[in-house]
Amino acid sequence: MPLPTTEQLPQTGAIDMLAPHVAAQAILDGQMAALEAVGPALPALAHAAETMAAAIRAGNSLIYVAAGSSGLMALADGCELPGTFGIPAAMIQIHMAGGVPTDANMPGDTEDDTQAAEQATRNVKPGDAVIVLSASGSTPYAVAAAKSAKARGGAVIAIANNPAAPLLNLAALPICLQTPPETIAGSTRLGAGTAQKAALNMLSSMMGIRLGHVYQGQMVNVVADNAKLVKRAVGIVTNITGVSEGTAKTALRDTAGNTKQAILVASGCSAQKAQDLLAAHDGQLGRCLQSITSNKDAIV
């Protein structure tokens, strides 16, 4: 029986026999090929991103589940969402086989713990979006989590790098990233991990766009909780409204740092009216600004 692609010997030959600069080029080529593997999955990624956005709109959860390197990719994506798009941390769960490591110790045997996977997904409910990752698509922890989440009514989004993998067959939304054999056989933190990271970036970014947290290419729902991000929020307000930096800072102060609301305040609304407009237009800043411009809503 042939090995799955993620376990096959590299097409480049024995990389340890190559000169350092040639080996580096081979690794880079492998990364580029991995990114190309994301292209055929674009329709599936767009569909899955809408499912994730629907979960957040309805007040449900995003639940990431994975083991090993895939777990690290999931952790990176999930932890970025509150700061980047203002998604409440309470709406995001991250389950990694063996738990999130606090040092460099990440035992491999935890990926076989199916009971832990079932325990991690015991509170999944209908409407939740459950993103399960596994390079092989057959990791016991990931497969058990997908089965459990599916049984509880969660919308399972599965990402794997081998076609026809068991994990993909379980999912409502399967996403196959068919990466070539790794330049170091079986080291899926390389190409497979790169493709997974790119896919997760796309999923969460498109989700943020669908939720209205991106306007004119800017993060209008950014949580400005450090000096760099406060400066960014000020820049976003000035870029969109054309007001001075001082006016932007005042608007942000009057809205307790809520960038969307600050943009509307800088456009002439009161802080309360800004809140009301965003509630009426499902958080879509563009619609709020259009409403102001067309005088459909009084600016008070």
Task: Report yes or no on 128 lying in a domain.
Answer: yes
Question: Given a cut of 70, is residue 298 above it in pLDDT?
Answer: no
In the numeric block, the tokens 């090995």 are attached to 3
In a domain, residue 300? The reply is no
Q: State the CATH number of the domain containing residue 254.
A: 1.10.8.1080
Which residue bears the tokens 């956005």? Answer: 53
pLDDT surpasses 90 at 126: yes
| Catalytic residue, candidates 7, 36, 50, 111 | 111
**CA distances (Å), 143 to each of 117, 180, 195, in order?**
9, 22, 20
> What is the pTM for the complete model shown?
0.93
Question: In this structure, are 192 and 230 located in the same domain?
Answer: no
Looking at every residue in the chain, the average pLDDT score rounds to 94
- Res 195: pLDDT: 98
pLDDT tens track for 37-87: 999 999 999 999 999 999 999 999 999 999 999 999 999 999 999 999 999
Q: Do residue 49 and residue 171 come from a single domain?
A: yes
- pLDDT for the residue numbered 299: 52
Query: Could you report the per-residue pLDDT of 133-151, keeping only the tens digit for each?
Result: 999 999 999 999 999 999 9
Mark whether 111 is an active-site residue.
Answer: yes
Verify that 234 and 206 share a domain, yes or no. no
pLDDT at 257: 92
Catalytic residue among 80, 118, 182, 245: 80
Tell me the average pLDDT across 12-23. 90
In a domain, 222, yes or no: yes
The last residue of a domain, from among 175, 210, 245:
210
Boundary residue ending a domain (163, 187, 210): 210
Backbone angles phi, psi at 163, to 5 degrees: -65, 150
Same domain, 232 and 160: no
Burial of residue 279 (CB within 10 Å: 0-12, 13-18, 19+) is: exposed
Active site residue 50: no
What's the mean pLDDT in 268-288? 94
Instruction: Report whether pLDDT(108) > 90.
Output: no
**Structural domain total, the chain:** 2
CATH number at residue 118: 3.40.50.10490
CB 267 within 8 A of CB 278: no
Is it the case that residue 13 has pLDDT exceeding 80?
no
Residue 34 lies in a domain: yes
- Specify whether 177 is located in the same domain as 286: no
Answer yes or no: do 149 and 286 share one domain: no
Q: How many residues does the chain have?
A: 300
Q: What order do you get walking across the sheet with 155-160 strand by strand?
A: 92-96, 62-66, 129-134, 155-160, 173-176
- Answer yes or no: is 299 within a domain: no
Kindly tell me if the per-residue pLDDT of 290 is higher than 90. yes
Quote the domain boundaries for residue 29. Answer: 5-210
Q: How far apart are CA 34 and CA 29, in angstroms?
A: 9
